[in-house]
Amino acid sequence: MSELINPEFNATANLRLDSMIAAFFDATPMARGLANATSIDRELFVRHTVETILRIRLARIADTKVIQHFARTNPFAAQKWCRYSEQEMLQDRLFLEDLRAIGVDAEAVYGADPLLATKLLQGYLYYTIEHEGPSGILSKSYFVEYMTRKAHELWSAVRRVEGEPATEVHLLHQLEVDLSALVWNVLMSVVKSPEDEARVLRHLEVYCGLFNAYFRELSSKIDGTPPPLDPAGDAVSGAQRAARTGGKPGGAA
């Protein structure tokens, strides 16, 4: 693993993330169930994996915008982000193997319409890169890398979908490749002041709110609960909750 740039702020950001993630799992039974249940509902597994694939495909487009920015301003950061993008570029194919193993074909996956929470996420990414620079997209990538490692700590050794072992090919790759330090160091190339650091923390809060909104919308698709009447407002309120709990140990409210 690369030596971290600005390790003190990294510790602050990780502490904030730990509190937000703990509060998120406490408030979102479906997410915790996906993480540590030994048996997973097939419909839930399929829809969540489909959405993950769609998000990865959309993230590829956002990553190219970061490369374009750095190609003009910082070729060394551009080189590193190209390396990260290379690792991430075909991640959707690993998740697709998980679905093919239970009889879901590629057409059904790539023909699906993304959830509104996913579209809101993409809108935030595009807004920040166009009007603020790459900090927003880089912060999102760090959020995903950190969240993934934390989720792995909860995941059961063997999980089943309707009685059959879940192949989860993507796990083998993700457990072997930890890119969080690379992502963090590229992010730090655009963080030069306390104001920049505060903006990164705000981005992390927003992504936690959008993640919460995604699971609320996913839940409404699976168990028939009423969907959020205002998905954008749900994401905003989730980000506000993340901000309130982020600075408190253990995610205490």
Task: Give all domains of the chain, ordered by start, each with its CATH number.
Answer: 7-247 (1.20.910.10)
The count of C-alpha atoms lying within 13 angstroms of the C-alpha of 59, restricted to the half-sphere facing its C-beta, is 25
Alpha carbon distance 89, 82 (integer Å)? 10
Mean pLDDT of all residues in 171-199: 84
pLDDT reading at 171 higher than 60 = no
Q: Residue 213 in contact with residue 27, Cβ under 8 Å?
A: no
Q: Which among 156, 135, 136, 155 has a CA at the least distance from the CA of 147?
A: 155
Q: What is the pTM of this model?
A: 0.85
Predicted pLDDT of residue 176: 53
Phi, psi of 160 (to 5 degrees): -125, 145
**N-terminal to C-terminal alpha carbon distance within the chain:** 34
At residue 154 the predicted structure's pLDDT band, cuts being 50, 70 and 90, is low
Per-residue confidence (pLDDT) for residue 248, from 0 to 100: 52
Question: How confident is the model at residue 100, as a pLDDT?
Answer: 93
